[in-house]
Amino acid sequence: MIVLFVDIDYFFAQVEEVLNPSLRGKPVVVCVYSGRTEDSGAVATSNYVARKLGIKAGMPIVKAKELGKDAVFLPMRKELYQEISNRVMEIISKYGESLEVASIDEAYLDITNKVSNFSEAEILARKLKEEILEKEKLRVTIGIGPNKVLAKIIGDKSKPNGLGVVTPEDVSRFIDELDISDVPGIGKITEGVLRKTGINKLADIRKFSLEELSKLVGRSRSIYLISLANNTYREPVKPRELTHKGRYLTLTENTRDIRIIMPFLKRALSEAYGKIQGIPMEIYVVAIMEDLDIVSKGRSFKFGITQDLALRTAEDLLRKILDTDTRKIRRVGVRLGKILRSSTLEDFFH
């Protein structure tokens, strides 16, 4: 098995840097504001400049402002980040057979049947990094390993904007060198219990039987640790189909002219329908504006949307975007959601 672990570096803050390049080089902190007071809430994420000041996710905003007096504090824009995440995940999905979206900024991809060896896997990963950078201006870190966990560990060790590989020949040495804190899913409390028992390295797990370890951290976690320590962990990448499918195209010029935009929108819609197996009940038109900001309008139906209806709806949604925003459009796209699947077309429509 050959698995890629893909992590969008400091995702929320990096998106803000892409949309506002003047932020690059400055400490950027994206926050979830509670609304109680001006500074109430917590840090969602920060860029690496801010992290060097000691600002971390989960930290109260008041504390973060004490550490970063010159930092730029921004509110979290969840819909924007989710839209960009959807697009990145679609790019990733093209490079393998099974995509497991672990979070808004992390995914596992099984490429076992796409490449013959780890050297080819590294070439594929570099192409993936380049495409994401070219299309979305985002830098990602990729870990490559013989299973999901080792791929994630080497990925975490390769941040930011890195590419790490653990080949089958390197696995034994790599596992022997891992600290117990490197293992995903091992929190501070479990780590403390293990260290008190003399387990500081993952390899130390081999000294204990399943029964002995289960008394310390429970049976399921013990099975997980023992399989990792002995290189027998083989949990497959679990495909979690994207809830939305989309297609985005760059216009030949930045414009507000609907006569220029519509042929691109029509093509994007046709290609988006070509990606799905079924019929959607939601359609969104997404416009990437000249300043790279994102504006979207959507509509839901109680029945499946034919492609003809989708085209009419898409044009209407595009007009609404143009009516409510004075900026020129740089890229345009379509996202389809709530995709119904059935063996008979009669089940799709009412």
**What pLDDT does residue 278 have?**
76
Total structural domains within the chain: 3
The identity of residue 16, as a single letter, is E
Catalytic residue, from 106, 212, 235, 290: name it: 106
Q: Which two tokens stand for residue 330?
A: 């740089």
Residue 145 lies in a domain: no
Residue 55 is classified by DSSP as: -
What CA–CA distance (Å, rounded) separates 54 from 262? 48
Residue 90 CB partners (closer than 8 Å, separation 6+):
242, 245, 246
CATH number at residue 57: 3.40.1170.60
Whether the CB-CB separation of 140 and 126 falls below 8 Å is answered with: no
Contact of 236 with 109, CB cutoff 8 Å: no
| β-strand partners of 299 | 283
d(CA 108, CA 102): 7
Q: Is residue 16 part of a domain?
A: yes
CATH number of the domain where residue 304 is located: 3.30.1490.100
How high is the pLDDT of residue 276?
Answer: 81
Same domain, 184 and 254: no
Is the domain of 266 the same as that of 322? yes
Same domain flag for 222 and 256:
no
Residue 182 inside a domain? The answer is: yes
Residues 299 and 204 in one domain: no
Q: Which amino acid is at 331?
A: R
CB 190 within 8 A of CB 221: yes
* Same-domain check for residues 221 and 252: no
pLDDT at 342: 45
Considering the domain boundaries, does residue 212 fall inside one?
Answer: yes
| 341 and 255 inside one domain | yes
Structure tokens at 216: 């310390």
Tell me, yes or no, if 106 is annotated catalytic. yes
Domain boundary among 229, 254, 274: 229
* 41-46 vs 3-8, strand pairing mode: unpaired
Asked, for residue 342, whether it belongs to a domain, the answer is yes
pLDDT of amino acid 240 = 66
Residue 110 domain-assigned?
no
pTM for the complete prediction? Answer: 0.75
Q: How far apart are CA 49 and CA 143, in angstroms?
A: 23
Gap between the Cα atoms of 84 and 136, Å rounded: 8
Give, in order, the Cα–Cα distances in Å from 307 to each of 6, 246, 281, 283, 335: 33, 14, 11, 11, 13
| Strand-strand pairing, 41-46 and 28-33 | antiparallel
| Strand pairing report for 294-300 and 282-289 | antiparallel
Residue-range definition of the domain harbouring residue 214: 171-229
Specify whether 276 is located in the same domain as 342: yes
* Chosen domain end from 40, 56, 77: 77
Both 225 and 256 in a single domain?
A: no
Q: Are residues 249 and 225 in the same domain?
A: no
| Domain contains 100 | no
Burial class (CB in 10 A: 0-12, 13-18, 19+), 73: buried
The radius of gyration computed from the CA coordinates of the chain, to the nearest angstrom, equals: 23
Tell whether 116 is covered by a domain.
no
Instruction: Among 30, 58, 77, give the residue marking a domain's end.
Output: 77
Helix extents (H) in the chain = 11-19, 48-51, 61-67, 78-93, 118-136, 148-157, 171-177, 188-196, 210-217, 219-229, 258-275, 307-324
- Indicate if 225 and 250 belong to the same structural domain: no
- Whether the CA torsion 163, 81, 299, 286 is positive or negative: it is negative
* Helix/strand/coil for 60: strand
The answer to whether residues 272 and 338 belong to one domain is yes
Q: What distance in Å separates the CA atoms of residue 107 and residue 101, rounded to the nearest whole number?
A: 4
List the pLDDT tens digit at each of the 350 positions of the chain: 999 999 999 999 999 999 999 999 999 999 988 877 888 899 999 999 999 999 999 999 999 999 999 999 999 988 788 889 988 998 999 999 889 988 889 999 999 999 999 999 999 999 999 999 999 999 999 999 999 999 999 999 999 999 999 999 999 999 999 999 999 999 899 999 999 999 999 999 999 999 999 999 999 999 999 999 999 999 999 886 556 788 889 899 999 999 999 999 999 999 988 888 778 889 999 999 888 788 999 999 888 888 899 999 999 999 999 999 999 999 999 999 888 754 434 444 44
Which single residue is written with the structure tokens 């076992």? Answer: 112
Q: What share of the chain is helix, strand, coil (3-state, %, to 5)?
A: 45, 25, 35
- The two structure tokens encoding residue 92: 């990733």
Closest Cα partner for 83 from 149, 150, 19?
A: 19
pLDDT on residue 275: 81
CATH number, domain with residue 203: 1.10.150.20
225 and 248 in a single domain? The answer is no
Residue of 313, 278, 279, 318 lying closest to 299 (CA atoms): 313
